[in-house]
């Protein structure tokens, strides 16, 4: 679980692995979005916030993992109240648009 202060303005990173036709795929040309929901709830109807890619190369040593980020906090893409959130990532590709939980986030 990642913990961030409600007073902090910073990127929330999520690792993304993309596979196309059984082979690693570079998703950094695709639109990426983040949702911050109550843990255990459905993503249906979730509000999605714009994200971006932290570079276009995979993480060193992985060959398949990329990092997507979303700026949260005062003045960011969204400001979250103190509490616990399920962070999910959605990537818009063609024809697929996968939306998957990534990790838990605590705002204090």
DSSP the chain: -EEE-TT--EEEEEEEE-EETTEE---TTSEEEEEEE-TT--STT---EE-EES-SSPPTTTSSEEEEEEEESTTSSB-PPSEEEEEEEEEE-SS---EEEEEEEEE-
Q: Quick one: average pLDDT of 33-62?
A: 94
Query: What percent of the chain is predicted at pLDDT more than 90?
Result: 80
Total domain count, the chain: 1
Give the pair of three-digit tokens for residue 3: 């913990």
> Which domain covers residue 23, as residue numbers?
2-107
Kindly report the CA angle at 46 between 17 and 98, in degrees rounded to 5?
Answer: 25
- When the pLDDT of each residue in the chain is averaged and rounded to a whole number, the result is 94
Q: Cis before residue 95, ω within 30 degrees of 0?
A: yes
Question: Is the pLDDT score of 40 beyond 90?
Answer: yes
Question: Is the pLDDT score of 94 beyond 90?
Answer: no
How far apart (Å, rounded) are the C-alpha atoms in residues 36 and 43?
Answer: 9
Given this model, what pLDDT does residue 20 score? 83
Question: Is the pLDDT score of 22 beyond 90?
Answer: no
What pTM was computed for the model?
Answer: 0.93
Please report, for the domain that includes residue 34, its CATH number. Answer: 2.60.40
Higher pLDDT, 100 or 19: 100
Give the pair of three-digit tokens for residue 38: 């109550």
């Amino acid at each position: 679980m990642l913990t961030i202060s409600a007073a902090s303005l910073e990127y929330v990173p999520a690792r993304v692995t993309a596979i196309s036709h059984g082979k690693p795929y570079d998703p950094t040309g695709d639109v990426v979005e983040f949702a911050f929901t109550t843990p255990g709830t459905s993503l249906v109807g979730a509000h999605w916030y714009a994200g971006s890619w932290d570079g276009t190369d995979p993480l060193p040593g992985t060959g398949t993992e990329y990092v997507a980020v979303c700026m949260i906090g005062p003045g960011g893409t969204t400001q979250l109240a103190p509490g616990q959130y399920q962070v999910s990532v959605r990537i818009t590709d063609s024809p697929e648009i996968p939306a998957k939980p990534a990790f838990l986030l605590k705002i204090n």
